[in-house]
Amino acid sequence: AIERTFSIVKPDAVAKNVIGQIYNRFETAGLTIIASKMVHLSKEQAEGFYAEHSERPFFGALVEFMTSGPVMVQVLEGEGAVLKNREIMGATNPAEALAGTLRADYANSIDENAVHGSDAVESAAREIAYFFTNEEVCPRTR
């Protein structure tokens, strides 16, 4: 099925100047970018986005990192977009990520792991709505 997923190019990857290389991976894999913007998250925005992790021991470091510099947020659309994006990203821990995945190529560590991607269609819908209005999502017309 054609799905939408939510993606973040995290502060470490933006700082490495590889936004375009990461977008190229999405497009080469057949995913279409239908919304995109650069944002420097506030502490409140980052805490809200990662609320499900608020009791985890890494939550403070996660929020600190995600607010350390600008990020790119985007909506990717395509056949099986949620799983396809997770395959492109590779494992959360770059030490476990397969060769040729974004995390293997660009992540520094499990904390600074270059990209985020939704884990399911339901979380994708919630995450897209957290960052984008309906008007900001622009499906192709040609």
The alpha helices in the chain, defined as continuous H runs, are 11-15, 19-28, 43-49, 59-66, 81-89, 102-106, 121-131
Dist. CA 4–CA 122, nearest whole Å: 10
Contact 86, 37 (CB under 8 A): no
Distance of CA 76 to the CA centre of its chain: 10
Dist. CA 126–CA 86, nearest whole Å: 17
Which is closer to ligand CMP, CB of 74 or CB of 113? 113
CB of 140 to ligand CMP, least distance (A): 27
Which is closer to ligand CMP, CB of 16 or CB of 140? 16
Which is closer to ligand CMP, CB of 37 or CB of 56? 56
Query: What residues act catalytically?
Result: 116
Query: Which token pair is 68?
Result: 């350390």
Which residue's C-beta sits nearest to ligand CMP? 116
Which residues make up the interface to ligand CMP (CB under 6 A)?
53, 58, 62, 92, 110-111, 113, 116
Dist. CA 58–CA 48, nearest whole Å: 15
Which is closer to ligand CMP, CB of 25 or CB of 116? 116
CB of 28 to ligand CMP, least distance (A): 22
CB of 135 to ligand CMP, least distance (A): 26
CB of 142 to ligand CMP, least distance (A): 33
